[in-house]
Structure 1
Amino acid sequence: MAKIEFGVLGGQAIIVVSGKIINVNERSGGQFSSDPMDVLAHWPAFEKWARGVEATGTEADVDYDALDCPVPKPTAIYGIGLNYADHAKEAGLEFPKQPMVFAKYPCCITDATADITLTSNRVDFEAELVVAISREAHKISEEDAMSYVAGYSVGQDISDRRQQFSDKPPQFCLGKSAPGYGPCGPVLVTTDGFADPHDIALNCFINDEQVQNSSTKHLIFNVPQLVSFLSQWCILQPGDLIFTGTPAGVGAVRTPRRYLQPGEVITTNIEGIGQMRNTCV
């Protein structure tokens, strides 16, 4: 079976087949909505349909830079802290015994090429694999967890460290939820699009400087563990997002510390998904 690349263009749900854009609502004859969140709410049926769609060759070529966020209005966004072995080591912290969970509020979500408005002089970058949920999940096992995953996308957990560490204990949610602090995209790719969905290369550049380079095989808690763990406490909904953590190289633990500056471009790449390019303003 071919992977599914699900995206949004001009607010309309699309899939990318053989490099061509196919409008979901039009091609399905109205079986599926043009609203991407409604498509995610019917993901199992949509996925079955999408796997049979072929491009005719007359459709427009895809321009990934023109696509909107593939999951524009998630009900909930779960962030996972300290979830890469290399990041825990660089921070001088012990590995957590269970996933460290915080919230990113939905107002942070933006497109893969959107500008990032810096809220202070201590805003940091965090390249992350993002997981989208495909159907309601509550108290599911690790063994079943991947069947509740619609696919993967590229994300950045932009973080205002001034806000995060403005008091003791630190407060994670607000400094990670400013408008634009959760760019995601350019597409959502089903997990069969990867040779190994638990070993995916990701990296991050600031301008031409590579600042992060790792693989999801270094996650302390992998995707099935995260989905299962979250479902023990919460009822996960279709279209909910999980920002799975960031590898080593973030600015706050560098010597000297390295924060984002106006005019800098953050380029985030994940193997098999694509690239985001966000300019800091």
Structure 2
Amino acid sequence: MPSRFPFEPLTLGAGQATENLGGRVRIGVIEGRAVFVAGDSFADVGEVSGGAVRADARVMFEQWNEIVDVHRRCVRGDFRELGGSVLENPLQAPRQVFAVGANYRRHIEEAGAHLPERPLVFTKFPSCLTGPTSPVELSSENVDWEVELVAVVGARADHVPPGRGWEYVSALTGGQDITDRVMQFDGGYPQFSLSKSLRTFGPVGPVLVTPDEFENPDDLALGCALNGRTQQAARTSDLVFSVPVLVEYLSSLCTLYPGDVIFTGTPSGVGAFMNPPRFLRPGDELISWVEGIGQLENRAVPVSVQAATTVPAVGGVWAGIGS
């Protein structure tokens, strides 16, 4: 990982070559297989477990506790260099992908809106999820960035009692809720799910980290930079509705399943509220980070195939709230 941005994955010292790694659980995906990640090295979950645990990333959250147990027995000698291997989308097969709008106080202030009384929830289609270094395809000239902390559900959850939300979170990761701003409000009616679910509009990663890895999982730094210039920088303590509260709220309305995903909202600094507005252009480099998790590196590219439906150009004054 480049060192010019503040948060890097864990790097193990040489003295840990035969030591148990304890609770430092960072899990990624390479070629569709779950792997433990330590700095620039990885260990295949299936190989370390001797075949006792399936390495298929699509079923990872059905056996999450077993994977964590295997990690407790893992030693540095089980690891090999990443080399040319690429960390992929670590969320391969979620049943549900929830997202939350207007959930950072400073972001709500920049939009000139009021604090919501309850979470503003929409969904992202799972097909939009992509890897931490995958390109972002620009559907129009109005595609915006939104760095987010992403929570992953670890157990079936129905009506989770207040104060117990964290018990149902298996992992945290970073994400970008890429958004086509014109499509978001095309025709005067909100199209949040569609405008945020186009191909490649959900970069996530680079790894999954268990909440107990953090001294305070409710207060993590996150941000993003465009072409080396910081655009968003905040802490999750600015969330209106915290991760556990979101789990409790969603589980009061829907059954949550292992592997379900929650994009928890974006802080201030999105392009739509700049003066003048600034959107992604082909060749732009978008770097996003979350403290203790690592960073995503996504380059903006033109859509590879002409869309069948053309998104209309911005007309008049753009109005609406980024989420």
Alignment of 1:1-281 (within 5 A): 1-17=22-38, 20-56=41-77, 59-62=79-82, 66-281=86-301
Distance 1:108 1:257 in 2: 24
AA paired with 2:68? Answer: E
AA paired with 1:153? Answer: T
Q: Secondary structure at the match of 2:172?
A: strand
Structure 1 segments of 4+ aligned residues over 3 angstroms from their partners: 17-20, 62-65
Q: CA deviation at 1:37?
A: 2.6
**Structure 2 residues without counterparts, runs of 5 or longer:** 1-21, 302-323
Q: Secondary structure at the match of 1:137?
A: coil
AA paired with 2:183? Answer: Q
RMSD (Å) for aligned C-alpha atoms:
1.5
| Count of paired positions | 280
Residue by residue over 1:48-105, the C-alpha shift from the partner in whole angstroms, topping out at 9 and shown as x without a partner, is: 332232221x631246982011112211110100000000000000000000000100
**Worse-matched range after superposition: 138-147 or 175-184:** 138-147
Structure number, greater radius of gyration = 2
Q: Secondary structure at the match of 1:66?
A: coil
Residue by residue over 1:157-180, the C-alpha shift from the partner in whole angstroms, topping out at 9 and shown as x without a partner, is: 000011101022312010100110
Q: CA deviation at 1:43?
A: 1.4
Equivalent pair of 1:25/1:34 in contact (CA under 8 Å) = yes
Equivalent pair of 1:20/1:62 in contact (CA under 8 Å) = yes
TM-score normalised over the length of structure 1? 0.96
Residue by residue over 1:84-135, the C-alpha shift from the partner in whole angstroms, topping out at 9 and shown as x without a partner, is: 0000000000000000000100010000000000001110000000001111
Distance 2:162 2:290 in 1: 24
Q: Secondary structure at the match of 2:231?
A: strand
Equivalent pair of 1:157/1:182 in contact (CA under 8 Å) = yes
Equivalent pair of 2:48/2:70 in contact (CA under 8 Å) = no
Q: Secondary structure at the match of 2:277?
A: coil
TM-score normalised over the length of structure 2? 0.83
